[in-house]
Structure 1
Amino acid sequence: MVSPTSEEDTRKVQTAVIGQAESDWPVFLPYDHDDFDTFMRGRTRHDFYCGVLLGGCGKKLTPKRYTGKKCHYAHRPPVHCRRTETGEASADHLYIGQALRRWLLRQGYQGADITYLDPGSVHGGAVEARFGQGRSRLIRVQLARLSLREWQETRERLADRHTHVHWAYGPYCGLSHNEVDAAGHAIRISCRTQGDTREVYVGAQYPDNSLAWSALTECRLSNEGVITPSLDAEPPASSTPVPAPTPVAFPLAPGTIAFTAATELPASHTDPDGTAVRLYEADLQPLGSAAVRARITLPHAHPAPSPHQLHIIYSSAHLLPLTEAPPSGPDWLIRADGASPLPQQTDSRWPDLRPASPRPESPPATPTTTEPAASTPSPLPLGEAETIRVFRSRLGIVARARGLINWETLISHAGAAPGDVTPDERVRLLIEVDRPRADGKPVLSALVKPALAPEAPAPYFPEVLAGLGWRSDLSEARVAEVWERERRSAYALAQDASTPELQQSLNTSREKNGTRLWNDAQLVGRIRAHLNLVAKGRSRIKWRTLINKQGIAHSTLSAKDQVRLLAAVDKPYVPSRGLLSALVKVDGQTSGPAPFFGDVLTELGWSPDAAMPTVEAAWRVALDRAYAHSRQSAPTAQSSPVVPSAKGDRVHWSRLGTTKAAVTVAVRRALIDAAQRQVCVGWHTLAAAAGLKPSDLSAMARESILVAVDSPPTYGVLLSSLVVASEHTPVPYFDAILKRLGRPYGLRPIELGRLRKTEQARVFAAYRAAAHTADAPKERA
């Protein structure tokens, strides 16, 4: 290994950021060329920026691999960068900020606000992390030097604005001794290179100047600040007594605890950090365990959980022993940041929890039908293959919007509820969404997060990565970096994708059996549209550039694929017409036909003749005619083929990120809910239930959906009769629905209205009775 040597050219730097110039996600380039190869796996040379938060110019950096000197990033000329800190530690303030955000999340504090003060200055300025109720707590990491007077003034200013201020000191600020004098010990913070990252370490400095270091992940947070293992194990000799440790609190994984029958207790309760909360007593069940009676605290502003619903704790939570409980009362307290109600009354993951239904004010009416109840719907109403397709399509839409989607919303687009899918099944489905893996293909699962959670990798994202081929023991920092890179890649790729189907097929390679993973017809259409634009500009384009513009790595296509696709662009072959494939060249080529153009001609069925005796002659004619044709009629990128909608639907379901089957399931559920509430509904309600706008669905599409809902009718009643237009008038296509369902149709308006009211009464009677019995009608899969 070549030992690092100092280099005076400040254009050569050792740290960068990924995603964009303003990003706070740092990356350190290892010195050694062997480590360089490992570092670049899954990355490209276009992912790195001279970050603004590094004091840089914001321009792209290129990683350079050397065997005789240290590897480094280099600016792309011309260089006008005034960045002063370029070495191994130049991004430590960003590594510290990211590590604090992840650590605070593990301590139960979501959405910490990280601020970088004077980034790019010597030693990185300072980092501030605000968290807790109203961002009232603060961790201040002082990296740059401060005078004693500045330090004292800053302490007073921050103490006036926050309930708790915890200080930590970098290796060069020279203030830790003052902190030891003031508090009995000081918290030191430092970064160390480990592989291709900089890990954050925390040390406790004692009056005798001794230091005990440990990883930040091994520390905990108390009202007194950051507590290292050495502070826990052996209090330092100091005139100031060490505060008593906080009560034992076991962190609980989000999504593993459900509860019901919650009753608010009048007693007030305050969390250890001083925030006011509401205290509830509820029936609670962890995954794989029995149900118990326990107490739960939720933030004071959190909506009170209904005792008649099943709730799941999706946020971070901690389990504490309840020392003040009466002898016959609960023994445990759960401190949670939030909970969400589930749409269903029961869930197979928590079989012992049964919410009590409100008592009806009057005895239930006798059911009008005696048919047996429908069977319980399958966990995935659309089936696994169709569910995965819907996931990919919806995630493509999320990527184009440059957003994230929570799992609960994503599963609803497939007509299922969160409780229908176990955590293991959720991971398996997300893995299938991103299979097969390929160079340049983003991991769409990076766009999925739990509800009420911050913009960070989902707790199960490392399991998804492991299922896709990443190592199962990735550090938190590495998982966060992969998540950020894959998210940005999905956003960037989505900008060039014209349809969700194409989005999920871009940047893919071949499977081992040689099956193509892209849609040839759509890809050829996009290539043709792009070459028409090239012809209009009377220019040529390299094959590498052309195929990369379609979002596919050129290395994933063989020479045979290249010839086949270009020939498809110009089929059917007409000798008198120009050939768009003549516009394609190879790297470094300045004139003449591409080396593969003769193979394209052969694929098209061309043969030499007197007018075009050679490949070069045929190329010149094809090129001139392509330019001439572009002046007469120049198609645009909008001319790429579009998948026609199904007859009668008049809806491009794929563009909406869903399927007709998924919309049918959602509409059926919404109509069953309306029947149980004894109301009619309009399409604004039904479209919202399917995640759509009313304007997304034509009248013919609405008719087709309602026919599917009632094919065959559940319990012999027509749910479609509950759908009304404005002013509570019947929808104009109700007679057409009757015809397609084999019912009497062609009735006069007064007869049609009477029939509709009769059907509504039958629906209300069936579901009013069933709502209070164990054999309530279930929607079909």
Structure 2
Amino acid sequence: MRDRRQIQTAVLGSAESDDPLMLPLEAIELDAFRHQHQQDTFWCGVLLGGCGGQLTTKLYTDRVCHFAHHPDPSGQPHECSRRARDVSSADHLYVKNAAAAWSATRSHQPRFHYPQPGGAPIGSVVDIAWEHHGRALRVHLGPAVPPVWDDDGMEPVLGVDVPVDDETLVRRWYVHRIRLDNAGTARHVRIGTEAFARPTRWFTLEQCEMTAQGLRTPAVERIIRARRTPPPRHAATGRSSALDAKAHEPDLKAQLEAAVRSGSVAAVAALCHDVKSSGATNGDNAAQVESALQEAQQWLDDQARQRQELFDQLDAAVRERKASTVRALLAQADGTAGSDRSRTEDAVAHAAVMFLEEQKRAARWEHRDAAPPVRGPKLRSPRARAARPPQQPAGRLPIPQPAKAKVSASEAAAHRRMRDILWELRLRANKVPELEVRALVRSLTQAAAAAGSQVTPAQRGEVDRWVARPPRRRPEPQSHATSPGAAPAGPTADSPSHPARDGEKQSGRRRQTASEPRTDRSPRQQTAKAASRPDRLPADAVIPVADAVRGALKKAARERTTTSWSRLRRQLGSALPVLHPDDRVEVLAQVDAKTVPDEPLLSTLIAVNDTSSPKLYQRLAARLGRDVPLSPLVATSQWQKDVLKLHQLYRYR
């Protein structure tokens, strides 16, 4: 297919030239441009990803002016596979020329390279290396190549549309950005410094310096002075570090005090370690430094003690079953100790999450029991009315029927709860942690006792089997794919319910795929459930629905919102029919089929709001090779974090 986008950039002199220029968009400016370059030739340069053919200029008064290829001698339209044609398509050459001129004023001669990792378009990345101090910059002009932050010899510089998360800004203190501004038929380079909770400050190249520690702008020096600690990842070693520490001994006390005031345990601990290893406690100001070091260490001990008390209070609140207290303490624990927990702290936090999930489940049951179903009048079809037996004669009395025993509302509610728990255990026993299974069994025992005479003998036997079930020592990995010759697995000790018989199959149902989990429901239960669900989509209808959903999810990400299936149906109309749960998995799998592994799934924008079917999104994650916690509460927390990352990514897309 012929690419009809207009070409706005070219190179001068030859197809291999690296001298770029940009065509003016207005007709009045193009006349001056032609006069200025009347002796020059314009080319669809190889370094622009072009075909190497010669270009001419096209002047228009009713639309923008642009370059165009010379016509083919055969009279056919010229074919060119150049992918980037707008005003920014030559930015990598402008960056190269600006960096070369800037380095020449400092008597340095850098080397330039235009790598294409992973098949990225040429110009996505520019590598600039200086031999005199062994440092290099990798300029990311677009998001096609993700930056690498742990390479000490190569410092990333990001374009304005390349996202960076807050965690990286906090850890590195700052990142450098680059932008190019139009200036006539050229583009001028500006370097910016972005820090956490600070606006990006922009500078010309002349205001910047390339040092042994990396690229430096005036903003970097102010950030380092404000933090009053050495810059990250560039700590000196050996004799030089000792000399530097001795030269800065008067400032160490102020640095320790500033770190304590910041309230960051990690920052104080790192600074204490640096002070001890630098030998500053043996210098002329050793007494002052030692005093500040002892105060910082005492502050760290106080923080550790407060952290221990927090988890002790959380553990006690779980044992006393105080839901509001557990919720508040768990939020505080996640904020102060979210990543570096010990094994004991992890166990306490997990028990709190399981307790809150149990409380949420119980509240859902109570809400449902408090709202009895509304029954409308029974409507009979004409055929049913015709088949109705004739009325008894008026003189004959009806035969009295035995009165049914009245059932209390509490027993009926407990019986419904018991059936729900049995169904949940059949479905989830082999897929959730043993601690959650035990909690469900305890709730099952209480509901069965409250249901009283409503429990049938078969249900009583199944309850007894779950109570007598031995604890699972080690969770078995779930195998979602079955080999053609393998026999179906029978009931295990962890699954007391009876699986479906081998000979019974449903008709009209799509064959289960490898990503769909097995169920232990009987054929009658499966048929009743299938009858209440919408029909499956034809295979050729999944992709159009997925395309519509993908566009709506991207729009929601750009607007920094989330969505739901009902909202998507209102938004998309007939493009999104009511979907079977299995079709939801198929559609979302197509939506995120090309999502790169480093980015969250777009389907997270739906999963974070759909609390009624978390297993659907866990099936989707397993199919796409993503890890999602088994606990719905923990999974929801992870989805909330992924939503924030999506909002950050789509700010620039």
TM-score, with length taken from structure 2? 0.32
TM-score, with length taken from structure 1? 0.27
> Which structure is richer in relative contact order (CA contacts within 8 A, separation 6 or more)?
1
Question: Whose strand proportion is higher, 1 or 2?
Answer: 1
Structure number, greater radius of gyration: 2
